[in-house]
Amino acid sequence: MLEIREFFARLPEFVCPELFATEIEGFARIENIWDILKRIQAGFTTKYVKPQILGHVEEGAFLRGSDIYIGKGSVVEAGAMVCGPAIIGDNVEIRHGAFVRGHVIIGNGAVVGHSSEVVRSVFLPGAKAPHFNYVGDSILGSGVNLGAGTKLSNLKNDGSNVRTRIGEHVVDTGIRKFGAILGDNCLLGCNSVTNPGTIMEPNCMVYPCASVQGHFAAGSIIKLRQNIETAISQKI
C-alpha cells in the first residue's frame, strides 16, 4: 500500500497539515493510514481549531458552537448547518441543505453540497461531496468527486471493529467507525456505496450503483455487471 504522501499529494496546501504528521503530542503515532481517523475521533479538531469567521455565512445558515473556523472566500449558504468543532479552509462551498456534523476538517476549494452529511471526516483541497452524499469517518483526497447519492458507510451492522483486506491479509483496524479512505482523484459514480473499511489508492474509478469494499490499487476501475432485459407488454 502507498505511503500517506502518495495517497495525498497536496498535503502542504492543507488547512491543518499537522493532522498527517507521523507524531504529534497528545495523539497516537501514525502506523497505518487509518490512524488519521483515530486522531479525528480522539478530538484532534477540538484541539487545533482557532475559532474565526473570515468567510460569508448567509442569512438562514446555522452555526452551532463557538469552535468553528471558516476561511476567506468560503460561503455557508442559507439552509446549511455547521456544527463545531469544524475547520473549514478558504474558498469552500457549504451549499444549501448541507449538514456538517462536527469533527470535520475541510480543505481549500472543497464542496459539501445539497443534502450531503459529513461527520468526523477530512476533505483534502478540491474534494467534493456535491449532492445527496453521506461521508462518515472518512478521508477524501484532492480531486475526489462523489456522484449523486454516493454513500461512504462507516459502521458494521453488528457494531464490531472494522476489518479491511490489505493484499492477502485481513487486518483489524481497531476502530468501530471507519468509512473510506480515497486517494487523490478517485471518482465514484452515482448511487455507489463503499462499505466500512474501504481503501482506494489514487485515480480509482467506481461505476454507478456499485457496492465495494476492501483495498484497491491505484488506477483500479470497479464496475457492476448486470443483465438488463427488455420486453414489450402484451397490453399495448
HEC profile for the chain?
CCCHHHHCCCHHHCCCHHHHCCCCCCCCCCCCCCHHHHHHHCCHHHHHCCCEECCEECCCCEEECCCEEECCCCEECCCCEEECCEEECCCCEECCCCEECCCEEECCCCEEEECCEEECCEECCCCEEEECCEEECCEECCCCEECCCCEECCECCCCCCCEEEECCEEEECCCCECCEEECCCCEECCCCEECCCEEECCCCEECCCCEECCEECCCCEECCCCCCCCCCCCCC
Grid cell 449538514 — which residue?
99
Q: What is the pLDDT of residue 41?
A: 97
Residues 56 and 72: their CA atoms lie apart, in Å, by 8
List the chain pLDDT tens, one digit each, 236 residues. 568 989 999 999 999 999 999 999 999 899 999 999 999 999 999 999 999 999 999 999 999 999 999 999 999 999 999 999 999 999 999 999 999 999 999 999 999 999 999 999 999 999 999 999 999 999 999 999 999 999 999 999 999 999 988 777 888 999 999 999 999 999 999 999 999 999 999 999 999 999 999 999 999 999 988 888 888 877 76
User: Where does residue 120 fall: left (phi above 0), alpha (psi -120 to 50 degrees), or beta otherwise?
Assistant: left
Question: Is 56 a known active-site residue?
Answer: no
Going from N- to C-terminal start, the domains of the chain cover 4-222
Q: What is the pLDDT of residue 229?
A: 84
Residues 117 and 80: their CA atoms lie apart, in Å, by 10
Paired strand residues for 169 = 166
Superfamily designation of domain 4-222:
Hexapeptide repeat proteins (2.160.10.10)
Residues 95 and 137: their CA atoms lie apart, in Å, by 20
Annotated catalytic residue, options 96, 131, 169, 215:
131
Those residues with Cβ within 8 angstroms of residue 51's Cβ, 6 or more apart along the chain or in another chain: 66, 67, 68, 69, 84
